[in-house]
Amino acid sequence: MRNGGGFIAERRPGERGLAHLIEHVAFHSPTVAAPDDYDHLKRIGLPLTLPAPNAGSTSWRETNYYLSTRTTAPSDIDVLLSLFRDAATGMTLRADAIDTSRGEVMREMAEKRLGNDIYASYIAAIAPGSPNDIINAQNSDDVPVASIDTIRRLYQRLYRPVNMMIVIVGNVKPNEMRTLIEKRFGDWKPERPDARRLPFPMFDRGRIQPISFSALPQGRRTALMTVVLPTPASPSSRDRQMRDELMDMIVARAVNLRLTALQPDSPPGKVGMFIENGEQGQRQIMLWDNFADDRWKPAVAGLRRITCNLTTGGFTAEEWQTAKRNIVDDLNRRAADIAKVSNVDLAKDFSHALADDRDLIPPDELLRYAANTLSEVDVRSGSTWWRQQWGSGVEHLRVEAPDFAKVSDPVVAIRAEANEATGSSACKVR
Shortest CA distance to 168 belongs to which of 300, 66, 290? Answer: 66
- Summarize pLDDT for 400-418 with one digit per residue, the tens: 999 999 999 999 999 999 9
Q: Is the dihedral of CA 351, 353, 357, 361 positive or negative?
A: negative
Which distant-in-sequence residues (6+ apart) come within 8 Å of 126 by Cβ?
208, 212, 224, 226, 228, 284, 396, 398
- What pLDDT sits at residue 196? 54
Shortest CA distance to 350 belongs to which of 190, 170, 159, 161? Answer: 170
**Angle made by CA atoms 246, 249, 255, in degrees to the nearest 5:** 140
- What pLDDT sits at residue 198? 57
- What pLDDT sits at residue 195? 53
Q: Which residues of the chain have pLDDT under 50?
A: none
Which distant-in-sequence residues (6+ apart) come within 8 Å of 409 by Cβ?
none
- What pLDDT sits at residue 193? 66
Which distant-in-sequence residues (6+ apart) come within 8 Å of 382 by Cβ?
247, 250, 251, 254, 314, 315, 320, 323
What is the reported pTM? 0.91
DSSP tally for the chain: helices H, then strands E: 14, 9
Strand partners, 223: 289, 399
- What pLDDT sits at residue 156? 95
Q: Decide if 24 contacts 56 (C-beta within 8 A).
A: yes
User: Rounded to an integer, what distance in angstroms lies between the CA atom of residue 366 and that of residue 368?
Assistant: 5
Shortest CA distance to 253 belongs to which of 163, 181, 320? Answer: 320
End-to-end CA distance of the chain: 47
- Summarize pLDDT for 257-296 with one digit per residue, the tens: 999 999 999 999 999 999 998 777 789 999 999 999 999 9
Using CB atoms within 10 Å of the CB of residue 421, give its burial: 0 to 12 exposed, 13 to 18 middle, 19+ buried: buried
User: Rounded to an integer, what distance in angstroms lies between the CA atom of residue 120 and that of residue 135?
Assistant: 9
- What pLDDT sits at residue 54? 78
User: Rounded to an integer, what distance in angstroms lies between the CA atom of residue 18 and that of residue 5?
Assistant: 11
